Chain A
Amino acid sequence: MTIAMIPMPIAARVAPTLAVEGLSIDYGPVQAVRNVSLAIAPGEAYGLIGESGSGKSTVAYAVMGYLNSGRVSGGRVVLNGADVFAMGERGLEAVRGSVVSMVFQDPMNALNPSIRVGEQIAEGIRRHAGLDRRAARKRTLELIGLVNLPDPEAITLRYPHQLSGGQLQRIVIAMALALEPKLLVLDEPTTGLDVTTEAVILDLIADIKARSNVALLFISHNLGVVARMCDRVGVLYAGTLVEEGRTDDLLQRPHHPYTRGLIDAMPSVTAAREMVGIPGRLPDLAQVPDGCIFQDRCVLATADCRHGVIPMETIGPGHSSRCLRWRSCATELAPARPAVPRASLAGMAPRLEVADLTRDFPGAPLFPFFRSRPVVQALRGVSLDVREGETVAIVGESGSGKSTFGRLVAGLDRPGGGRILFDGRDISALARARGRDDQRDVQFVFQNPHSALNPHHSVEAIIGRPLRLYLGLRGRALRERVLEILTAVRLGERYLTRAPRELSGGEKQRVCIARAFAANPKLVICDEPTSALDISVQAAILQELRRLQRESENQTSYLFITHDLGVVRQIADRVAVMYLGEIVEFGETADIFTAPQHPYTEALLAAVPEIGRAEQANRRDMRLEGPLPKPTNPPTGCGFHTRCPRVLGPLCETMPPKQSKAEGHWLKCHIPIAQLRRLQESG
Chain B
Amino acid sequence: MSTNDIPLVAEAEAKVPPAVTRGSRMGKASRQTRGMLVSDVVLIATLLAVVAMVLVPGWIAPYSPTEFNPAVAMMPPSWEYPFGTDEFGRDILSRVIHGARPTLVVAIAGAIMGVGLGTVTGLLAGYAGGRTDEVLMRFMDALMSFPTLILATLIVVMLGSNPVNVIAAIGIVFWPRSARIARAVAQDVAQRSFIEAAWVRGESHAYILFRELLPGVLNVVVVDLSLRITYGTMLSASLSYLGIGVTPPTPAWGLMVKDGQQFIQFASWMVIWPCVAISVVAVAAVLAGERLRQILAPTERGN
Contacts and interface: CB of A to CB of B under 8 A. Distances in A.
B25 A452 contact: no
A69 B201 contact: no
B25 A286 contact: yes
Contacts of B300: 455, 501
A431 B22 CA distance: 38
A450 B303 contact: yes
Contacts of A252: none
Interface in A586-619: none
B199 A412 contact: yes
Nearest to A504: B24
Contacts of B215: 454, 456
Contacts of B62: none
A57 B300 CA distance: 22
A57 B202 contact: no
A515 B196 CA distance: 13
Given A69-B19, A412-B199, A431-B200, A448 B193 contact: yes
B201 A466 contact: yes
Contact of A451 (B193, B202, B203, B298): B193
Residue in A442, A455, A515 with the greatest tally of chain B CB atoms within 10 Å: A455
A431 B201 contact: yes
B273 to A, nearest CB: 45
Interface string A487-526: 0000000000000110000000000100100000000000
A661 to B, nearest CB: 35
A57 B22 CA distance: 9
Interface centre among B192, B215, B299, B303 (most CB of A within 10 A): B192
Nearest to A462: B194
Contact of B216 (A410, A443, A456, A469): A456
A446 B196 CA distance: 9
A448 B23 CA distance: 19
Nearest to B189: A454
A188 to B, nearest CB: 13
B193 A446 contact: yes
B212 A454 contact: yes
Given A432-B202, A446-B193, A68 B20 contact: yes
A209 to B, nearest CB: 28
A30 interface: yes
A394 B165 CA distance: 61
Interface string A50-64: 001101011000000
B194 A453 contact: yes
Interface residues of A, number: 45
Contact of A431 (B134, B202, B303): B202
B200 A70 contact: no
B25 A30 contact: yes
A644 B138 CA distance: 48
A68 B302 contact: no
B302 A501 contact: yes
Given A28-B28, A32-B23, A451 B303 contact: yes
Contact of B22 (A32, A442, A444, A465): A32
B35 interface: no
Contacts of A466: 201
A515 to B, nearest CB: 7
A442 B204 CA distance: 17
A29 B202 contact: no
Given A450-B302, A454-B216, A455-B302, A443 B200 contact: yes
Interface in A412-443: 412, 430-432, 434, 436, 439, 442-443
Contacts of B202: 411, 431-432, 434, 436, 439, 469
B25 A28 contact: yes
Interface residues of B, number: 28
Contacts of A448: 193, 303
Contacts of A410: 200
A412 B202 CA distance: 10
B199 A431 contact: yes
Given A446-B193, A450-B303, A452-B194, A411 B22 contact: no
A159 interface: no
Interface string B264-286: 00000000000000000000000
A68 B17 CA distance: 13
A436 B203 CA distance: 10
A191 to B, nearest CB: 15
A515 B197 contact: yes
A555 interface: no
B196 A455 contact: no
Contacts of B302: 450-451, 455, 500-501
A456 to B, nearest CB: 4
Interface string B13-36: 000000110110101100000000
Interface in A462-497: 465-466, 469
Contacts of B25: 27-30, 286
B23 to A, nearest CB: 5
A412 B194 contact: no
A53 B22 contact: yes
Contacts of A434: 202
A58 B22 contact: yes
Interface in B109-154: 134, 138
A27 B23 contact: yes
Interface in B182-224: 192-194, 196-197, 199-204, 212, 215-216
A55 B23 CA distance: 9
B27 A28 contact: yes
Contacts of B299: 501
A174 to B, nearest CB: 26
A58 to B, nearest CB: 7
A285 interface: yes
A447 interface: yes
B24 to A, nearest CB: 9
A52 B22 CA distance: 8
A316 interface: no
B199 A432 contact: yes
A592 to B, nearest CB: 29
Contacts of A456: 215-216
Contacts of A53: 22-23
Contact of A442 (B134, B197, B200): B200
Interface in B223-271: none
B98 to A, nearest CB: 43
A142 to B, nearest CB: 35
Nearest to A461: B211
A53 B20 CA distance: 11
Contact of B23 (A30, A431, A451, A454): A30
Contacts of B204: 432
B23 A285 contact: yes
A650 interface: no
Nearest to B135: A368
B192 A451 contact: yes
Contacts of A443: 200
Given A469-B201, A501-B300, A412 B28 contact: no
A362 to B, nearest CB: 11
A435 B95 CA distance: 67
Nearest to B202: A439
Contacts of B28: 28
B20 A452 contact: no
Contact of A452 (B138, B197, B201, B298): B197
Interface in A8-60: 27-30, 32, 52-53, 55, 57-58
6 contacts: A55-B22, A68-B20, A431-B201, A450-B302, A455-B300, A469-B203
Interface of A: 27-30, 32, 52-53, 55, 57-58, 68-70, 285-286, 368, 410-412, 430-432, 434, 436, 439, 442-444, 446-448, 450-456, 465-466, 469, 500-501, 512, 515
Closest 4 CB pairs of A and B: A439-B202, A456-B215, A69-B19, A452-B193
Given A53-B22, A432-B202, 7 more contacts: A286-B25, A412-B199, A439-B200, A444-B197, A446-B193, A448-B193, A455-B216
